Amino acid sequence: MKILVCISHVPDTTSKINFTDGETKFDTNGVNFVINPNDEFGLTRAMWFKEKQGASVHVVTVGAPETEPTLRKALAIGADEAIRVNTPATDGYSVAKQLAHIAQEGDYDLIIGGRESIDYNGGMVPGMVAKMIGANFVNTCISLEVDGTSVVVIREIDGGKETLNTSLPLVVGGQKGLVEESDLRIPNMRGIMQARSKPLHIKEPVTAGAKTVATIFEKPAPRGAVKLVDTVDELIDLLHNEAKVI
């Protein structure tokens, strides 16, 4: 089985979010970039398929050269090869177009992405890739088992979960549950050394018109100070009469 894991290079979860150039660009100053958490669960599940079922695992990111350390980290975790599509990620549709091209060119059986990226939170790229290449698609995937070309997946639904049967070729939008938090791997020295000599292919982008453009960013308005109360009676009164939420 050939697996492609789509990796989004995102600011780590503790990052302070600021913008520059008249609030038109994300300020990367002092920001530490990581593998998108949802993608890391998917990558770790892919490692399981590699170790238990002999799958080969490639990772791909659509992005500028500064995303390469993130790809190297994925190689250090154990991916066999990495691909960087040499163009900045602008909108979900154009990123999906690039990934669909890579997916078809490499004839992958299973494509694992994340439910959403924690930067632009589009929650759209994996579904778009699936539709573009005519593969099956399951989103919010929390369990994935492959036997030959048959696949059993569990997806999270609002208030529960749903078990589905499907088949390869398949694209999933994954999240925690694909593996547990405790299964995530911190690259060791050996992995980091090996990653240096693993292939990292740079591919030029195909034409893919963006359909949306972010024009300006804004931060939420600062909130008023908290009202501290001493008794539960006061709290109930405020929730009822002032906030009008109960």
Ligand X SMILES: Cc1cc2nc3c(=O)[nH]c(=O)nc-3n(C[C@H](O)[C@H](O)[C@H](O)COP(=O)(O)OP(=O)(O)OC[C@H]3O[C@@H](n4cnc5c(N)ncnc54)[C@H](O)[C@@H]3O)c2cc1C
**6 is in the binding site of which of ligand X, ligand AMP, another protein, none (Cβ under 5 to 8 A by kind)?**
ligand AMP
Asked if 145 is part of the footprint of another protein (rule: CB under 8 A), the reply reads no
Nearer to another protein, 61 or 140 (CB): 140
Residues 76, 7: Cα–Cα separation, whole Å:
14
CB of 68 to ligand AMP, least distance (A): 12
Map residue 176 onto helix, strand or coil. coil
Residues 2, 79: Cα–Cα separation, whole Å:
11
**241 is in the binding site of which of ligand AMP, ligand X, another protein, none (Cβ under 5 to 8 A by kind)?**
none
CB of 32 to ligand X, least distance (A): 11
What are the beta bridge partners of residue 2?
56
54: left (phi over 0), alpha (psi -120 to 50) or beta: left
Which of 4, 15, 35, 38 lies at the binding interface for ligand AMP (CB under 6 A)?
38
Report how far Cα 212 is from the mean position of its chain's Cα atoms.
20
- Total residues binding ligand AMP (CB under 6 A): 25
Residue with tokens 């008794």: 231
Torsion of CA 61, 67, 72, 74, to 10 degrees: -50
- Considering only 52-60, 73-81, 199-207, 216-224, which stretch makes contact with another protein by CB under 8 A? 216-224
Which of 18, 19, 122, 238 lies at the binding interface for ligand AMP (CB under 6 A)?
122
Asked if 135 is part of the footprint of ligand AMP (rule: CB under 6 A), the reply reads no
The number of beta carbons lying within 10 Å of the beta carbon of residue 51 is 10
**95 is in the binding site of which of ligand AMP, ligand X, another protein, none (Cβ under 5 to 8 A by kind)?**
ligand AMP
